[in-house]
Amino acid sequence: MSIEDILQALDDQCRQECQEIFSRAEAEAKQILDKAQVEAEAIRQAKLAKVKAEAQSETTSMLYSARLKSKNAVISAKEVIAEKALAQTEERLRDLRSRQDYPSILESLIDEGMTRISGKVVVHVDPADEAAAEMVMRKRGCDYELRSDIETAGGATITDADGRVRIVNTVEERLNRAREKLRMHVSGILFGEEVKAAAGGG
């Protein structure tokens, strides 16, 4: 075999070995690349899931906040309207004496207070109600004293002789006692809510 043939054989062998090395390297590189791509996709999906979760959480929080603000705005509006309605009611009650049925209202308020008093009854009224209250008490035929010593839009305060028992049955006091019931009643009328309690006596 000539030198040229030997060199050619060595060259062919070298080329074959190099080709095998290149093929193995290329296969390993492809495996590494494929693995890196899988890992990169996993990382991307994990980050995407995290971003979505954070976005969902933020959206939920914003929605809850908006609903809470809306609910508070509705409650606030109801409060304002209810207060206006109650203020109008109080305004009408200031003119209670101008009503034709006021004498019977006064009589009912006095009678209600008297049921809780034993012995001599002391009836405290506004000077404007003195004559009407006197007529009421005369019909009762009981031991009483009438005093026009309070200022009120209507009604009376009833006490016993010693002043130990005191029943305040004025229009203002009745309105205060019934205020929460009135608020519920007004809210029911304005907003269609079920109302079980109506405005009334204390």
pLDDT tens digits for range 134-159? 999 999 888 999 999 999 989 999 99
Rounded-to-integer distance, Cα 36 and Cα 33, Å: 5
Minimum mean pLDDT among 8-22, 43-57, 86-100: which range?
A: 8-22
Predicted structure pTM score: 0.51
